Structure 1
Amino acid sequence: MEHIEHAQLLDTQGLYCPEPVMMLHGVVRKMAPGEVVKIIASDPSTERDIPKFCNFLGHPLLQQQQEGDLYFYWVQKKKPA
């Protein structure tokens, strides 16, 4: 796994969708374009919901991985067109 620098960390362990995605939406809204947020989640449905969030809103999903019962995502806020 390559190291990806992130400006924000969002720990959603113990929360169930849609709460992690709603929290991600709030964090991304406050970030500068190009900044990266690392998300830690324990809900397996984030494997579906976070990529859908990124695809729908155009934010690049730089990486995702699973380690044991935890899921990690690195999402970059899209840059203005």
Structure 2
Amino acid sequence: MTDHTMTLDTIGLLCPLPVLKARKQLKSMQIGAVLRMLADDPAAIIDVPHFCAEAGHEYLGQEDAENHQIYLIRKTT
């Protein structure tokens, strides 16, 4: 996966909290920075790409870890 700038752990949080926390974290990051978000919410697989499309950020993809998923988001706006 791509190098990341910041890791956000949202494991244990349910929709909509992972996306809300990602939005807040991305606001404090520079354009071009990559957020690595850890999540175990089953809805995140739909919510994270949708959030990126709506907010104008670049969704770099998702990979499965042992008990959670890892999402990468590049701040573009």
Which of 41, 44, 63 is the matching residue for 1:43? Answer: 41
Secondary structure in structure 2 of the residue aligned to 1:31:
coil
Q: Percent identity?
A: 34
Secondary structure in structure 2 of the residue aligned to 1:52:
helix
Shift of residue 68 of structure 1? Answer: 4.1
1:17 aligns with 2:29: no
Rg larger in 1 or in 2? Answer: 1
Secondary structure in structure 1 of the residue aligned to 2:52:
helix
Distance 1:67 1:23 in 2: 20
Secondary structure in structure 2 of the residue aligned to 1:63:
strand
* Structure 2 equivalent of residue 31 of structure 1: 29
Shift of residue 66 of structure 1? Answer: 2.0
**Uncovered stretches (5+) of structure 1, i.e. residues with no partner:** none
Return the TM-score normalized by structure 1: 0.88
Over the residues paired in the alignment, what is the CA RMSD in angstroms? 1.1
* Structure 2 equivalent of residue 5 of structure 1: 3
Return the TM-score normalized by structure 2: 0.93
* Structure 2 equivalent of residue 74 of structure 1: 72
> For this pair of structures, how many residues does the alignment match?
77
